[in-house]
Amino acid sequence: MTILLSTLNARYAHASLGLRYLLANMGDLQDQTRLQEFVIGAKTTEIVERLLASAPRIIGFGVYIWNVEETTKVVAMLKRVAPQITIVLGGPEVSFEHGEQAIVKLADYLVTGWGDVTFPKLCREILQGPTPLMKVHAGIQPPMAEINMPYTLYTDHDIAHRTIYVEASRGCPFKCEFCLSALDKTAWPFGLDTFLAELESLHARGARLFKFVDRTFNLNIKTSLKIMQFFLDKLEANPDDPVYAHFELVPDHLPDALKEGISKFPPGALQFEIGIQSFNPEVQALVSRKQDNAKAADNIRWLCEHSHAHLHVDLIAGLPGEDVASFARGFDQLVALKPHEIQFGILKRLRGTPIIRHTEQFGMVFDPYPPYTILATDRIDFATMQRLVRFARYWDLVANSGRFTHTIARMLGSAPFDNFMAFSDWIYSKTDATHRIALDRLAALVSQWLQLQGMSKLDANELVGSDYAGRMDAPADKAKPAVSAPVRQARHLAA
């Protein structure tokens, strides 16, 4: 092969949609191009050895916030052992503020932004001449109808074992300053009939789990309804062959027509990711986020009470102008709405995002290394921010994992944020860890915490035991392994 397209995915189950778009649009170079994906955590030497096995002339890397450090090592080693290979970079992590990035200095060329047209053109120039003089090439955005769809490039193995990412549109009309989509002018839809035909083909090949990467799935309700009807038709035609679809929703835009469509889906068929980020109007204004909080809350409440959709709702700690008390109020408000999962995120300064304009005024200090997490603001000091980081981790372990469905309500009580923060501080004092806490030990610690809050040992063990099938009568550091695990827990561990 002359050209390799490569990236380091966060997990094996993640199949790179971006690389498949590039391959689909290589034109006369497609026969000379192939994909070679890896997973972060693999040895650099092994990645390099596998890349060199086919003696490519060009290697294009997709660079993201989660893989930039490891990809930098790969590129550095390639330049030592095979300097004749031309390295081309692309992806969101290197598309902005690239002047001082080590990986960009190591590479031969960089394509910023959209690569569908620009990357193939650059490869032709490298291979056929004249040799490009400029290192940085701004991606050309073609008309959407001229972009070849990538979905035939999902292999049968991908369909059987990996998440199938799809998109009905690119871009976003909103300007939330913590998001790279703030740089988009609008959202650009693909031709709906063409897109639905691609979904049909994927379904016919056995795809049953579709994750939409659209930033604003419910922006155009007519389009949303037609896509949802595609999945409803499949479910109604064969109820015993379930299909699952994941969408990201704008929280304050849920008209009756969309509600009616959503209400038709059976349990286990829909997941909605809903970004609230903050319920504080002043903070929302600072980061250019336009959101009707009352409508957003009403819509989440309706989805919880009148649909079978699984709701994953996001909050971000560390936004400019928000202190812990403000975040806690938003967290408690969201808990009261009862979504299935609350993703407690910590602000990250993605390269190129306008959030940087608040740095001086709000004393925002970010980690200089990926993923560029906020370390402190003028309202949340470093030590408190670390407490919030631990809160987020323990929240995932206890609340979002689904392992403590009955127990979590008792733990949260009437003051969810304060009560869970107290638990977070306590469990950290007991374990000095946020990772690699065995499930049986975690369950025993939760039971111990409930006892410290006034429950009898018997009641605490019975409550935790109703969620977790392990032995609750052993000390926290010597708890015996669980005999069995709930179905949801088994799915979580297998993910």
Flag whether 325 is in a domain: yes
Which two structure tokens, joined as six digits, stand for 262? 């959503």
**42 and 139 inside one domain:** yes
In degrees rounded to 5, what are phi and psi of residue 137? -125, 115
pTM of the model: 0.91
Flag whether 281 is in a domain: yes
**93 and 185 inside one domain:** no
**491 and 422 inside one domain:** yes
Flag whether 85 is in a domain: yes
The count of other CB atoms within 10 Å of the CB of residue 412 is 18
**127 and 222 inside one domain:** no
Which two structure tokens, joined as six digits, stand for 186? 């609008």
Asked if 265 and 232 count as a contact pair (C-beta separation under 8 A), the reply is yes
Mean pLDDT for back-to-back runs of 10 residues, the chain (495 residues)? 95 95 98 97 98 97 97 98 98 95 98 97 96 96 97 97 95 92 90 98 97 91 96 96 95 95 96 96 96 97 97 97 98 97 96 96 97 98 98 97 94 97 98 94 96 96 83 43 30 28
CATH code of the domain containing 203: 3.80.30.20
Flag whether 414 is in a domain: yes
**110 and 174 inside one domain:** no
**83 and 231 inside one domain:** no
Tell me, letter by letter, the H, E, C secondary structure of the chain: CCEEEEEEECCCCECCHHHHHHHHCCHHHHHHEEEEEEECCCCHHHHHHHHHCCCCCEEEEECCCCCHHHHHHHHHHHHHHCCCCEEEEECHHHCCCCCCCHHHHHCCEEEECCCCCHHHHHHHHHHHCCCCCCCEEECCCCCHHHCCCCHHHCCHHHHHHCEEEECCEEECCCCCCCCHHHHCCCEEECCHHHHHHHHHHHHHCCCCEEEECCCCCCCCHHHHHHHHHHHHHHHHHCCCCCCEEEEEECCCCCCHHHHHHHHCCCCCCEEEEEEEECCCHHHHHHCCCCCCHHHHHHHHHHHHHHCCCEEEEEEEECCCCCCHHHHHHHHHHHHHHCCCEEEEEECECCCCCHHHHHCCCCCCEECCCCCCEEEECCCCCHHHHHHHHHHHHHHHHHHHCCCCHHHHHHHHCCCHHHHHHHHHHHHHHHHCCCCCCCHHHHHHHHHHHHHHCCCCHHHHHHHHHHHCCCCCCCCCCCCCCCCCCCHHHHHHHHC
Nearest to 486 by CA among 463, 464, 474, 469: 469
Flag whether 395 is in a domain: no
**213 and 117 inside one domain:** no
**140 and 167 inside one domain:** no
Domain stops at, among 380, 398, 422: 380
User: How many domains does the chain divide into?
Assistant: 3
Asked if 165 and 213 count as a contact pair (C-beta separation under 8 A), the reply is yes
Flag whether 186 is in a domain: yes
What contacts 24+ positions apart, CB below 8 Å, involve 334-337? Answer: 334/276, 334/279, 334/300, 335/412, 335/416, 335/417, 337/297, 337/300, 337/301, 337/304, 337/313
**419 and 476 inside one domain:** yes
Residues pairing with 209 in the sheet: 244
356 CB contacts (<8 Å, ≥6 apart)?
349
Which two structure tokens, joined as six digits, stand for 139? 């991606």
Q: Are strands 169-171 and 187-189 parallel, antiparallel or unpaired?
A: antiparallel
Domain stops at, among 109, 144, 179: 144
Please give the Cα distance from 246 to 187 (Å, whole number). Answer: 19
**86 and 123 inside one domain:** yes
**468-480 residues labelled b (16+ CB within 10 A) or e (exposed):** bebbbeeebeebe
Domain stops at, among 362, 380, 398: 380
Asked if 459 and 417 count as a contact pair (C-beta separation under 8 A), the reply is no
Flag whether 157 is in a domain: no
Which two structure tokens, joined as six digits, stand for 205? 């090949």
Please give the Cα distance from 230 to 352 (Å, whole number). Answer: 36
Dihedral Cα 322, 323, 324, 330, nearest 10 deg: -30
What residue numbers bound the domain in which 414 lies? 408-495
**210 and 315 inside one domain:** yes
The answer, yes or no, to whether the previous bond of 132 is cis (omega within 30 of 0) is: no
Nearest to 425 by CA among 465, 386, 380: 386
Q: How far is CA 104 from CA 90, 100, 107, 132, in A?
A: 10, 8, 5, 16
- Please give the pLDDT value at position 1: 76
Flag whether 156 is in a domain: no
CATH code of the domain containing 109: 3.40.50.280
**369 and 277 inside one domain:** yes
The count of other CB atoms within 10 Å of the CB of residue 230 is 17
The answer, yes or no, to whether the previous bond of 371 is cis (omega within 30 of 0) is: yes
